[in-house]
């Protein structure tokens, strides 16, 4: 791998750790506008890590009766140091559990450094 010289200066900040919260857009089989939750999560992650990006996506999974289910999701992602992610891990877990409860979900996905945690 070639390192671009302009990106190796000490004044550049490199954040190699990330956390993403997958915000669902359906309660059961009823779609809803998840934009308020997405913006709230983006605000919280921005306060914890200094910024966030929202990626619209589509998730697929097998439901209780074996059917492939498709649902639009918003992935809210922040980058930070390993220390910051560890420091805020309880807040991230609480956030996932809150979403799970208020949105009546079986689970919420949290991705930390490319590892998917299903809460």
Domain ranges across the chain: 23-118
Fold of the CATH domain 23-118: Alpha-Beta Plaits (3.30.70)
Query: Which of the 8 DSSP states describes residue 96?
Result: H
50: left (phi over 0), alpha (psi -120 to 50) or beta: left
pLDDT in tens, the chain (119 residues): 555 556 555 566 789 999 999 999 999 889 999 999 999 999 999 999 999 999 999 999 888 899 998 999 999 999 999 999 999 999 999 999 999 999 999 999 999 999 999 99
Sheet strand arrangement including 109-112: 53-62, 68-80, 17-24, 109-112, 115-118
């Amino acid at each position: 791998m070639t390192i671009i010289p302009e990106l190796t200066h000490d004044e550049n900040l490199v954040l190699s750790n990330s956390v993403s919260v997958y915000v669902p857009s359906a309660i059961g089989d009823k779609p809803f506008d998840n934009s308020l939750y997405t913006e709230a999560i983006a605000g919280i992650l921005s306060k914890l890590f200094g910024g966030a990006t929202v990626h619209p996506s589509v998730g697929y999974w097998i439901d209780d009766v074996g059917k492939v289910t498709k649902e639009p999701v918003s992935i809210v992602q922040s980058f930070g140091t390993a220390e910051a992610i560890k420091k805020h891990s309880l807040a991230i877990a609480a956030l996932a559990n809150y979403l799970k409860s208020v949105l009546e979900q079986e689970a919420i996905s949290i991705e930390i450094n490319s590892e998917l945690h299903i809460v």
